[in-house]
Structure 1
Amino acid sequence: MDRTGVRRALVLLLAAWGATRLVLLLFVLKVFVFPGADVTTDVSVIYQGWYEVLRHGTFPLDDVTWQYPPAAALAILSPVLLPFLDYPTAFFVLACLADLAVLCLLLYAGLRPGRTLRGASVWVLGVPLLGPTVYSRYDLMVTAVAVAALLAGARHPRIMGALAGFGAMVKVWPALLLVGAVRRRAWTSAAVTAGAVGALLAVAMPGAFAFLTFQRDRGTEVESLGALVFHIARHFGWHGEVLLNYGSIEFLGPDVQAVSTAALLLTALAFGWLLLWRLSAVRFRSHTLADAAFTAVLMFTVTSRVISPQYMVWLVGLAAVCLCFRAGRMTLPAVLLLLATFVTVLEFPVGFSHVVVSDWYGITLLVLRNGLLLAATVTAARVLWRATVTETAVAPFPSQATRTKETPLSS
């Protein structure tokens, strides 16, 4: 693309980002009312309540809805950086700044040789598809850390590992970024960072790891893949309940434990596949790190007994990094993900009442959203396997010198 074309693309992306994010801010600040449930109460009630506890030097030990690693406290406490604003407004502004930081990272990466601005386009388009939910959860801040980690990973494995380790102490899933890392330095840096952050917070504030026991009695969240069993079963005499449990709307009753156990088994199988892939892969290119992370988080999300709407922003961020690489092959999974993201906002908050009562409109939305996510997962796994494992059947097996040359780009 010539300089004029690059400038035009940058102007369009920045203008689109500015317009869509202004609308998001107007929704979360309630200048406009978004249809469906009020998603901002998580900030004004739950987060602000945790903030009041955390600022006194302890974790919310009596609140079973606190189910996050200790560094999540930093995200909850972050509005203290803007003391001239009330807590909710400060949180929304910081979420918007995290959104902008991701865009800047993707633009910078997209302008480098061998890269494209497709990743930035995915981010600009994908985030507003989630509606105001995306600014009403701290997941956008975690995603910013994950995007920075993946973009650093191509040349700076220690920085990548440190960011992944820190991210894992904020919300666990960034640990999956290491799936495609081939340099030991990345793993070591991640372990050291996670250990140091966890130890520091455990010493500074009591109850840092109490969250590990708070999910023991969870049911199956109504938006998950496994929940479709009960949505349909309710039309054929299943007599369980739908209740607010551990911070989300879940199915509780007969056979719920069996479905939850099946979900855990599917997660174990997904990790088994990832291990098999890692042992079988012989071609690691500059985009493999991002492709592997995207695939791993898709697998984790689809097999989870909880699929909250804000999880989609993780995937949008990872898909955006994948599409920053001109040689990347995750275009189809990314498109499927964007479609799933659009259906997600129709399901929550717009149509959530239909989901809770399991009417056929709600079931249709869930089947469509979860089906698109499942299709994206299978497609991404197939693309990753073919690019790193089976293509060696037609390409010469790389010599040690070739692998050594390619490895630094994928560390």
Structure 2
Amino acid sequence: MPDEEPRQRGGGLAVVGLWVATRALSMIVLATAERLVVGDVFYYWRKISALGEAGLPGTLREYPTPVVWFLSLPQVAGGSRTGYLVGFIVLMLALDAVLTYALWRAAGRRRDRALDFWLLYVFLVGPLCYTRFDMVPAVLAGGALLAARRRPWLTGALTGLGAAIKLWPALLAGAFAVRWRGRGAMLGAFAGVGFGLAALSLVTGGVSRLFSPLTWQSGRGLQIESVWATPLMVARAVDPGTWEVRYSAFQAYEVFGPGVPALLVVSTAATVVGLLVTAALFVRGFRSPEVSAVGLGLLVLATIAVTTITNKTLSPQYLLWLGGPAAVLLLARGSQGPQWHRSIVRLAVSLLVLALLTQLTYPLLYNGILGRSSRGFMVVSTVVTSLRNLTLLAITVALCRQAWLALRPSRPRVDAA
């Protein structure tokens, strides 16, 4: 992709050195200050270890069936809890390294700001990136966007795989379909992989297990870190006795008290509105005769951001989803002139701020928002979480606006009389 800004000199060794340094530091932080983030990995281990007794239909019903197969891979490192943890982290590091290598290749085998962004973004989100499997959709979405111009079939396959793992990437098929070149190959690969895995899930787990992730999500309450919980969490910091935070049956901390039912209705309405906004962007993209790399990247990011912000649940690892596509978008930052160059760089900086606020929210200040510390600490943690959510809201609005502008349809030509 053309770029007005000269790329930084530095071959593979420089990139490897940066990757090793930042990831080693993340592992040190994980082993010291942020050890609590490994809890989910041990939960996966318990469920996978009991797979023989519970069977596939009764294992990890909150996730699509292919997730069970994927989470069985770390068992290769041994059946022990520690062995599973090591295997899981190594698997996430490997996926991280794959996208890093792909970005380096796409940048002409040189160090580029896109690479620097990915390395720093993951580091700022924190070691949590390696103790949740959200690295998978982040890398798949980034890889799908990277392949969109030359290998649309690969874009479709990666998107279908992402949808089988996390469901929401299915929306990205609509984003990638706005490009007419390779549309058939992309949609064919998406349908082949997505429906193929769905059929395999049906055969191995049954109908109930196939739809269990959807019923699980529909029954969840208002997660304390979600955008829609923010007003109540702020009110709780002022009046802790009125609202309560409890660990629910859905393995998440949720807020209970006045206003929760109303905000759940609002979040449902927001999800519908978000889908309509996304659909409007897709239609605008279809009307554009040629969607640029910038336009497609912004559309993908807007789709992810809208999906994230309108949901009644918002776990910190969800913010990792934005990192892969944002890094790929940075590769095209100079392809449409200085104005778009500046806009994309500003977006990248905003995302880095978002990543840092996310790590502060969880795990560094999490005991405060749970009310396990002093009142002052609760206020500080609530303020930081609110700032994170406001930043995400501002980024989402900016992405939708920029995607709308970048997808401007061509105007009909009017000949002079």
For the pair 1:351 / 2:365, whether they are aligned, the reply is yes
Name whichever of 11-20 and 130-139 sits farther off.
Answer: 11-20
> What is the alpha-carbon distance in structure 1 between the residues aligned to residue 307 and residue 239 of structure 2?
30
Residue 56 of structure 1: CA displacement? 6.0
Q: Which residue among 319, 339, 361 is the counterpart of 2:380?
A: 361
Q: Which residue among 231, 252, 268 is the counterpart of 1:264?
A: 268
Deviations 1:128-164 (A, max 9, x none): 1122111110111232222222211212222211210
Residue 165 of structure 1: CA displacement? 0.9
In structure 2, stretches of 5+ residues that fail to align are none
1:22-37 alignment runs, 5 A limit: 22-28=24-30, 30=31, 33-35=32-34
1:40-119 alignment runs, 5 A limit: 40-44=38-42, 46-54=43-51, 58-59=55-56, 61=58, 66-83=61-78, 86-111=83-108, 117-119=112-114
Instruction: Kindly indicate whether the alpha-carbon contact (under 8 Å) linking 1:61 and 1:210 is maintained by their aligned counterparts in 2.
Output: no
Report what 2:392 is aligned to.
Answer: 373
Residue 238 of structure 1: CA displacement? 6.8
SS in 1 for 2:68: helix
> What is the alpha-carbon distance in structure 2 between the residues aligned to residue 116 and residue 386 of structure 1?
30
For the pair 1:241 / 2:244, whether they are aligned, the reply is yes
Residue 205 of structure 1: CA displacement? 3.2
* TM-score, length-scaled by structure 1: 0.86
Report what 2:196 is aligned to.
Answer: 196
1:118-129 alignment runs, 5 A limit: 118-129=113-124
Residue 121 of structure 1: CA displacement? 1.4
Residue 250 of structure 1: CA displacement? 0.6
For the pair 1:132 / 2:134, whether they are aligned, the reply is no
> What is the alpha-carbon distance in structure 1 between the residues aligned to residue 144 and residue 313 of structure 2?
25
Residue 15 and residue 55 in structure 1: after superposition, are their counterparts in 2 closer, same or farther (change >3 A)?
Answer: farther
> What is the alpha-carbon distance in structure 2 between the residues aligned to residue 383 and residue 276 of structure 1?
14
Residue 151 and residue 237 in structure 1: after superposition, are their counterparts in 2 closer, same or farther (change >3 A)?
Answer: closer
SS in 2 for 1:39: helix
One-letter amino acid matched to 1:248: A
Instruction: Kindly indicate whether the alpha-carbon contact (under 8 Å) linking 1:107 and 1:120 is maintained by their aligned counterparts in 2.
Output: yes
Report what 2:140 is aligned to.
Answer: 145
1:154-193 alignment runs, 5 A limit: 154-181=149-176, 182=178, 183-193=183-193
Q: Which residue among 351, 362, 375 is the counterpart of 1:337?
A: 351
Q: Which residue among 271, 275, 280 is the counterpart of 1:276?
A: 280
> What is the alpha-carbon distance in structure 1 between the residues aligned to residue 196 and residue 20 of structure 2?
38
> What is the alpha-carbon distance in structure 2 between the residues aligned to residue 312 and residue 338 of structure 1?
11
* TM-score, length-scaled by structure 2: 0.84
> What is the alpha-carbon distance in structure 2 between the residues aligned to residue 164 and residue 377 of structure 1?
21
One-letter amino acid matched to 2:359: V
SS in 2 for 1:38: helix
Name whichever of 320-329 and 360-369 sits farther off.
Answer: 320-329
One-letter amino acid matched to 1:49: R
Residue 81 of structure 1: CA displacement? 4.0
Residue 231 of structure 1: CA displacement? 1.2
Residue 278 of structure 1: CA displacement? 2.1
Deviations 1:165-193 (A, max 9, x none): 11101011222322322324322321232
> What is the alpha-carbon distance in structure 2 between the residues aligned to residue 236 and residue 86 of structure 1?
44
In structure 1, stretches of 5+ residues that fail to align are 400-411
Residue 254 and residue 191 in structure 1: after superposition, are their counterparts in 2 closer, same or farther (change >3 A)?
Answer: farther
> What is the alpha-carbon distance in structure 1 between the residues aligned to residue 222 and residue 45 of structure 2?
27
> What is the alpha-carbon distance in structure 1 between the residues aligned to residue 219 and residue 130 of structure 2?
29
Residue 110 and residue 381 in structure 1: after superposition, are their counterparts in 2 closer, same or farther (change >3 A)?
Answer: same
> What is the alpha-carbon distance in structure 2 between the residues aligned to residue 41 and residue 124 of structure 1?
24
Identity fraction in percent: 28
Deviations 1:296-343 (A, max 9, x none): 101111111111111111111121111121327433222211101101
Residue 7 of structure 1: CA displacement? 4.6
Residue 230 of structure 1: CA displacement? 0.9
Instruction: Kindly indicate whether the alpha-carbon contact (under 8 Å) linking 2:138 and 2:320 is maintained by their aligned counterparts in 1.
Output: yes
Residue 398 of structure 1: CA displacement? 8.0
Instruction: Kindly indicate whether the alpha-carbon contact (under 8 Å) linking 1:116 and 1:324 is maintained by their aligned counterparts in 2.
Output: no
Name whichever of 328-337 and 287-296 sits farther off.
Answer: 328-337
SS in 2 for 1:215: helix
Instruction: Kindly indicate whether the alpha-carbon contact (under 8 Å) linking 1:223 and 1:308 is maintained by their aligned counterparts in 2.
Output: yes
**Could you say what the CA RMSD is over the residues aligned between the two structures, in angstroms?**
2.7
Instruction: Kindly indicate whether the alpha-carbon contact (under 8 Å) linking 1:164 and 1:174 is maintained by their aligned counterparts in 2.
Output: yes
SS in 2 for 1:353: helix
Residue 99 and residue 253 in structure 1: after superposition, are their counterparts in 2 closer, same or farther (change >3 A)?
Answer: same
> What is the alpha-carbon distance in structure 1 between the residues aligned to residue 401 and residue 329 of structure 2?
15
Instruction: Kindly indicate whether the alpha-carbon contact (under 8 Å) linking 1:79 and 1:87 is maintained by their aligned counterparts in 2.
Output: yes
Name whichever of 81-90 and 316-325 sits farther off.
Answer: 81-90
What is the number of equivalent residue pairs in this alignment? 384
> What is the alpha-carbon distance in structure 2 between the residues aligned to residue 9 and residue 176 of structure 1?
36
1:279-290 alignment runs, 5 A limit: 279-281=283-285, 282=288, 283-290=290-297
